[in-house]
Structure 1
């Protein structure tokens, strides 16, 4: 299970209002919710956190290196045994973040569950997120607004075309 701080949005509400051509503040709450939904769908599609934020995740250790299920990892701050309050000494395990932002932990007793704390995200601010990702979120939020009375079955093709080059698979290398 991954516990994360509230995500900072990389697209502003005013950008969505302008794109969706909503001039009054009557539907701001609806647009804000759709913006959060579009941002979460984006992170799920990409398998990446967008704007950097802290996380804690439960990790069941394996025999060797265990990959963290969150990308891109910016830092691994501490590891503690689940149920314990105190972190393990840094010498009790090994951690690594590879060139692609995948975090790995090794040296923990196999089969035990640990809590790993750190930070993950593509950029420190919304402006550091690649523009095609931001445009996809903007388009998706506006699409959800325009189609709010009907079921949305799949992401619009224009949105997935913008996001696909940034998508990370869950496969280990």
Structure 2
């Protein structure tokens, strides 16, 4: 994730016509990436997650999406990733499941509208360090097609 933050900060520096990103712009880029993930409801950059699961005959939903791969360190675990990138686990014993989730492998493969929204928001946060001014409306418009919403916390499969 650090490499993606650095790359996003460099893209924001280019947008702002700066020679290089300073610490403030790097923090703004990190915040913009985190806000993009929160708004879109999915992880943008692929990374590893560990999630505890309880022994149950029911399928359990993994917290992060889109899931790329699931690793079950113990026997008796059924795994599934549906076509929407939602991960499911059914465990015969309580334990921890490791998995990778993320829309893109790195900053270079993040869809262009999401990346542009991150750059715009990072530039806005940098330029409005005093907290004044509304974020550009274009940011939400760029991210909206990639937004995933969950309608309920308890999901039956």
Q: Would you call these one fold, judging by a TM-score over 0.5? A: yes
Partner of 2:118: 137
Question: Measured at CA, do residues 9 and 29 of structure 1 come closer, stay the same or move farther in structure 2, by a change above 3 Å?
Answer: same
The yes-or-no answer on 1:47 pairing with 2:41 is: yes
31, 39, 53: which is aligned to 1:37? 31
Contact 1:59 1:68 in 2 (8 A): no
The 5 Å alignment of 1:5-84 reads 6=1, 8-9=3-4, 11-23=7-19, 25=20, 28-60=22-54, 63-78=57-72
Partner of 1:159: 139
Distance 2:149 2:66 in 1: 12
Per-residue displacement from partner, 1:100-139 (whole Å, max 9, x unpaired)? 1000011435xx5x32201111122222211000000000
Question: Measured at CA, do residues 70 and 155 of structure 1 come closer, stay the same or move farther in structure 2, by a change above 3 Å?
Answer: farther
Question: Measured at CA, do residues 164 and 133 of structure 1 come closer, stay the same or move farther in structure 2, by a change above 3 Å?
Answer: same
Query: What is the CA RMSD across the aligned residues, in angstroms?
Result: 2.3
TM-score (norm 2): 0.84
Contact 1:7 1:51 in 2 (8 A): no
Distance 1:8 1:74 in 2: 20
Contact 1:48 1:168 in 2 (8 A): yes
Query: Please, which runs of 5 or more residues in structure 1 have no aligned partner?
Result: 1-5, 79-86
